[in-house]
Amino acid sequence: MSDFIYLASQSPRRLQLLEQWGVRCELLLPNADEDVEALEAVLPGEAPAAYVQRVTALKLVASLTRLQRRGLPPAPVLCADTTVALGRRILGKPADAAEACRMLADLAGRRHRVLTAVAVGKPGARGARQWSALSTSWVSFDALTPAQIRRYADSGEPLGKAGAYAIQGRAALWTRHISGSYSGIMGLPAHETAQVLGAAGVRLV
């Protein structure tokens, strides 16, 4: 059994959720010379579910390598990735407020999917064992006016968020319906995370 894990994510929301669930975490963040954005590139014709699982797997391999190179004490490593999908179209993190406005205009008044993949790797003498899971949720937004979208984009909240919104923030005000995992929409699905961490020997409630 392990009494702590490494979280290989820069998302404060994931760290907050793990701490709420009583999981002790140490951050395992990339070095300045690691090109994380390259890992998140979408392949031509790639389906959203395949994409988010592939990116998470790549992040886990990179994180396990990082752990070994730094000579840190062995412990399970947790990685996750979230994407928003409108049909087969993948909506990643907007580069600026203008792109955020375009994404939100497309999502307004429609139903879309939020997919979060989570993976855990546990270092061992014979290499790392790995476990993974996928959470799929559905979110429906109210119709939004251009002025509403612009005000939200100008708030800065959409930047750095898949699909240009944060369900736990102001976007909750126009979220009409959710089906699935609220924490998964935030970026780390509780049930799936508990399953993979438990398989890796992490103490949970």
pLDDT for the residue 19: 94
pLDDT for the residue 1: 62
Range of the domain at 42: 5-199
Asked if residue 35 is part of any domain, the answer here is: yes
CATH of the domain at 150: 3.90.950.10
Write down how long the chain is.
205
Residue 3: strand, helix, or coil: coil
Q: Give catalytic residue positions.
A: 81
Q: List the chain pLDDT tens, one digit each, 205 residues.
A: 668 999 999 999 999 999 999 999 999 999 888 777 788 899 999 999 999 999 999 999 999 999 999 999 999 999 999 999 999 999 999 999 999 999 999 999 999 999 999 999 998 877 789 999 999 999 999 999 999 999 999 999 999 999 999 999 999 999 999 999 999 999 999 999 999 999 999 988 7
Number of domains composing the chain:
1
Asked if residue 38 is part of any domain, the answer here is: yes
Asked if residue 192 is part of any domain, the answer here is: yes
Asked if residue 186 is part of any domain, the answer here is: yes
pLDDT for the residue 44: 93
Please report the DSSP string for 73-88 in residue order: PP--EEEEEEEEEETT
Asked if residue 204 is part of any domain, the answer here is: no
Q: How many CB atoms are located within 10 Å of the residue 83 CB? A: 22
Asked if residue 205 is part of any domain, the answer here is: no
pLDDT for the residue 58: 96
**SS percent in the chain: helix, strand, coil, step 5:** 40, 25, 35
The contacts found for 13-21 with CB under 8 angstroms, 24 or more apart, are 13/166, 13/168, 13/186, 13/187, 13/188, 14/80, 14/187, 14/188, 17/183, 17/186, 17/187, 17/188, 17/190, 18/78, 18/188, 18/193, 21/190, 21/193, 21/194, 21/204, 21/205
